[in-house]
Amino acid sequence: MTSEVIHKIKSLSRSFRPDLREFFAQDVNRGQRLSVSACGLLFDYSKHWVTDPVVASLTDALREAGWDAAVKRLTSGEAVNVTENRAALHMALRAQPEDHTRVSADAITQAAAERARCVAFAEAVRSGARVGASGRAFTDVVNIGIGGSDLGPLMVAEALSPWVDGPKAHFISNLDGAHAADVMKQLSPETTLVLVASKSFGTQETLHNASKLKVWIADALGEAAVAHHFAALSSRPDRALDFGIPEASVFDFADWVGGRFSVWSSIGLVLMIALGPPVFERLLAGAREMDHHFLEAPLAENIPVLMGLLGVWYRCGFGCQSHAILPYAQRLAYFPAYLQQLEMESNGKRVSLDGSPVTTPTAPVIWGAVGTNGQHAFHQLLHQGTVIVPADFIVTANPVDTDLATHRMLNDHALAQAEVLAFGQTEAESVAVYGESASHLASHRACPGNRPSSLWLLPELNPEALGALMAAYEHKVFVQSVCWGINAFDQWGVELGKSMAAQLASGDESVGSSSTQAARQWLKKHQN
């Protein structure tokens, strides 16, 4: 079933001729008018291929597609994850008791209780009340997890690194032995706390790495030390206990916490330890404020709704295959990767909620890198390539702990990139700039412009602004899943690869194609 939004997009886009130069010429206030402020952030969508009638049509279509009922199902705790019969109540993880009219009260209570246990543990580690087997305080905390049990905490720890005042956070995710080895080189067993982060407590990479560090701790400090140096964050506390982690160090979270939506839950323990619970609470507060905006703002002034509709507009109206995330903040280096899982694992789907094949393109490829580095890597394609790649620029007004003059230079680049993507430079303008003698280069130099982008403006990269930004993208994903009529909260596509890897690990030489079998022989022959 293709929602009304897709039908509307297909009919509107057929005759729509986007022209950003013309749009801005027609309305000198477009930049201000097509911007929305919320949670102290500003979202400028003026450099997108939209007009007021287009925005009105798309928001009307979303409403006609049953938007209000869809939001109600999400917030009330219905099993919106229809294939796993689970709710998706990540908003409850950052809600306060007074939010019970918006989000399931039971979920809010459960989340608060789980968080309280984590906070107490984090405070004990930070204060030295909880120490290692040899009585020394923990100076380092290692989060072993992958996917949503890694990407959120990793990204937040880097983004908020100026606020780290506790044990240093390290992250091991990859099965590649180099990952654990390189991290362990930096650590001493006596002063290292290991967090095994795994919702299922069944992910091979995580359990393999956790077992390695378990041996590392036991070899250095004795078997009994494991109980002092390990904690687990999981929806399967039974499995964590079987691994040898004592109950008091196992931090549960509900099965309605999706992996890619879990940083706000016990999975955020590494952040509570490294940053301190108050800073973690500020992150939650920022996300909560965006939740309120998402649940209350009129659709045409609702940032996540606009983000979601714009993405579907390009994907289904103009066949755009990818979307670039361009944070002009070095400490948001992991933000594109975090959004890759959030968006591509949520909406990279080929069947509708009822299991029938979709009749529309779904999630685009999400990619990106920090500016200004991207300008020296892939912006050439963004400006003069033959594909249109809508982009999100993320800019902060103030540096956190560096000089403002440099920060202003950084922001000039961000705004310049968005400006020239939108308005380009014609061949004639190029000749006017570089002179007739260079006219033979005019076609090479010309930039077509008319390339759309969003501009996020944050006051600074602080906990509240980051929380609000993250929540906005979570809600964007939900908006798009409603437009596409798909389940944003399961991920069956990753199971087949896991079972194939298990078959190959069985040693059965007949497994796989001739290519795989030949590769296995080659690797075996070349292994030392």
Given 132, 148, 336, 399, the residue binding ligand F6P (CB under 6 A): 148
**SS3 at position 475:** helix
Q: Which among 98, 185, 247, 376 is annotated as catalytic? A: 376
494 binds ligand F6P (CB under 6 A): yes
Cis bond before residue 372 (omega within 30° of 0) = yes
348 binds ligand F6P (CB under 6 A): no
CA of 83: how far to CAs of 86, 253, 351, 448, in Å?
A: 8, 20, 12, 45
Q: Report the 10 Å Cβ neighbour count for 322.
A: 17
Name residue 255's amino acid: D
Is the separation of the CB atoms in 107 and 87 below 8 Å? yes
> Which phi and psi angles does 368 have, rounded to 5°?
155, 180
349: CB partners within 8 A, 6+ apart: 358, 362, 363, 484, 486, 487, 493
Task: Report the DSSP beta bridge partners of residue 162.
Answer: none
Beta pairing, strands 322-327 & 250-252: unpaired
Q: Which among 10, 208, 444, 498 is annotated as catalytic? A: 498
Span of 51-59, 140-148, 294-302, 393-401 interacting with ligand F6P by CB under 6 A: 140-148
As a whole number of angstroms, the distance between CA 20 and CA 448 comes to 11
Q: Which is nearer to ligand F6P, 345 or 474 (CB)?
A: 345
To ligand F6P, the closest distance from the beta carbon of 246 in angstroms equals: 20
To ligand F6P, the closest distance from the beta carbon of 472 in angstroms equals: 20
Q: Which is nearer to ligand F6P, 88 or 442 (CB)?
A: 88
- For ligand F6P (CB under 6 A), the number of binding residues is 14
143 binds ligand F6P (CB under 6 A): no
198 binds ligand F6P (CB under 6 A): yes
Given 13, 110, 206, 372, the residue binding ligand F6P (CB under 6 A): 206
Instruction: Please give the full DSSP string across 37-50, using - where no structure is assigned.
Output: EETTEEEE-TTSS-
342: CB partners within 8 A, 6+ apart: 260, 261, 473, 474, 477
> Which phi and psi angles does 416 have, rounded to 5°?
-65, -45
250 binds ligand F6P (CB under 6 A): no
Annotation says 440 is catalytic: no
340 binds ligand F6P (CB under 6 A): no
Span of 75-83, 145-153, 212-220, 440-448 interacting with ligand F6P by CB under 6 A: 145-153
To ligand F6P, the closest distance from the beta carbon of 90 in angstroms equals: 13
Question: Where does residue 356 rank: exposed (0-12), middle (13-18), buried (19+ CB within 10 A)?
Answer: exposed
Beta pairing, strands 35-38 & 41-44: antiparallel
149 binds ligand F6P (CB under 6 A): yes
Given 90, 126, 239, 260, the residue binding ligand F6P (CB under 6 A): 260
Given 115, 199, 349, 451, the residue binding ligand F6P (CB under 6 A): 199
Given 132, 153, 166, 259, the residue binding ligand F6P (CB under 6 A): 259
Q: Which among 289, 343, 345, 464 is annotated as catalytic? A: 345
254 binds ligand F6P (CB under 6 A): no
336 binds ligand F6P (CB under 6 A): no
Q: Which is nearer to ligand F6P, 147 or 286 (CB)?
A: 147
Q: Which is nearer to ligand F6P, 201 or 314 (CB)?
A: 201
Given 20, 146, 169, 337, the residue binding ligand F6P (CB under 6 A): 146
As a whole number of angstroms, the distance between CA 153 and CA 197 comes to 10
200 binds ligand F6P (CB under 6 A): yes
Is the separation of the CB atoms in 487 and 82 below 8 Å? yes
Annotation says 476 is catalytic: no
Report the sign of the C-alpha dihedral through residues 158, 161, 245, 116, in that order: negative
To ligand F6P, the closest distance from the beta carbon of 88 in angstroms equals: 13
Annotation says 498 is catalytic: yes
Q: Which is nearer to ligand F6P, 241 or 420 (CB)?
A: 241
Q: Which is nearer to ligand F6P, 347 or 491 (CB)?
A: 491
As a whole number of angstroms, the distance between CA 92 and CA 485 comes to 24
As a whole number of angstroms, the distance between CA 314 and CA 65 comes to 19
147 binds ligand F6P (CB under 6 A): yes
> Which phi and psi angles does 349 have, rounded to 5°?
-125, 155
As a whole number of angstroms, the distance between CA 198 and CA 148 comes to 9
Given 203, 265, 396, 417, the residue binding ligand F6P (CB under 6 A): 203
Residues near ligand F6P (CB under 6 A) are 146-149, 198-200, 203, 206, 259-260, 345, 491, 494
Which residues carry out catalysis?
Answer: 345, 376, 498
